[in-house]
Amino acid sequence: MPQLTLFDLDGTLVDSEVLSNQVLVEVLAEQGLTFSLDEAVKRFRGGKMAESIADVEAHFDCRLSDDFVPHLRRRTAQAFENSLQPIDGALDLLNALNSQMCIASNGPPEKIRLSLTLTGLLPFFGDRLFSAYDVNAWKPDPELFLDAAKRLGVAPSDCAVVEDSLPGIHGGLAAGMTVYALFPNTIPPELPENVTVVRHLSELKAHL
């Protein structure tokens, strides 16, 4: 059993991927830029905000305004406050685990804390919240995972990573950690072979 479980947040513990991409689609549409929700989720799931914005600008051959990201983050926070829910099975899983656990997310610290607070999951993690913005390295770079493990005094080989996106999965593997991938529906064909796929968070109890 792992000594430390590092959970991704968006799409893994909180049901935010579709919600946040829906806001992105709406904000882009207000500027005459049309993305379908399915396309947005496929393109931007688990990615870095700056890279997502660069992708949008390249796709539409445009330059978004300097206040686009701050405006998008405000709209997303409002949507979270109105609708964000934990992923089915998250509360039961966290209640069942006895080993140490933390959050390791590509999102900014304020978004991490807001999401956990709104869904009632913050008490499970306390201050063990690690953001790519703090180490200036985003998944699939393994630095976020390695930094979290080092700070908590656990060797990478004794860590498990729970992810729902390919960037996070590749980052966990590069860190030398055991990786569990949450894919309730379609499994990406490019998923690495040395990853354990689970369809529901309840399946993780036996592993963690």
21: domain CATH number is 1.10.150.240
Task: Count the domains in the chain.
Answer: 2
What percentage of the chain carries pLDDT values higher than 70? 100
Mean pLDDT of 148-165: 97
pTM above 0.85, yes or no: yes
Whether residue 60 sits in one domain with residue 91: no
Residue 93 belongs to domain with CATH number: 3.40.50.1000
pLDDT higher at 47 or 185: 185
Distance CA 131, CA 94 (A): 20
pLDDT attached to residue 136: 96
pLDDT at 18: 87
pLDDT of residue 132 exceeding 80, the answer is yes
Same domain as 152, residue 126: yes
Burial class for 100, CB neighbours closer than 10 Å (0-12, 13-18, 19+): middle
Query: Domain end: 83, 118, 141, which one?
Result: 83
Confidence of residue 181 (pLDDT cuts 50, 70, 90): very high
What are the backbone dihedrals phi and psi of residue 61, each rounded to the nearest 5 degrees, phi first? 50, 55
Helix pair 166-174, 143-151: axis angle to 10 deg:
60
Both 160 and 172 in one domain: the answer is: yes
Q: Are 80 and 16 a contacting pair, CB within 8 Å?
A: yes
Does one domain contain both 153 and 60?
no
Q: What is the mean pLDDT of the chain?
A: 94
pLDDT of residue 41: 85
Are residues 117 and 198 located together in one domain of the fold? Answer: yes
Last residue of some domain: 83, 98, 119?
83
Residue where one domain finishes, among candidates 68, 83, 98: 83
- Lowest-confidence region among 42-51, 66-75, 127-136: 42-51
**Residues 182, 117 share a domain:** yes
Look at residue 185 and tell me whether its pLDDT is greater than 90: no
Residues 182 and 154 both lie in one domain: yes
Specify whether the CB–CB gap between 127 and 30 falls below 8 A: no
| Segments forming the whole domain that contains residue 161 | 4-15+85-206
The catalytically annotated residue of 8, 15, 141, 164 is 8
154 pLDDT exceeds 90? yes
94 lies in the same domain as 46: no
Q: Is the pLDDT of residue 51 over 90?
A: no
Query: 8 catalytic, yes or no?
Result: yes
What would you report as the CA-atom Rg of the chain, rounded to the nearest whole angstrom? 17
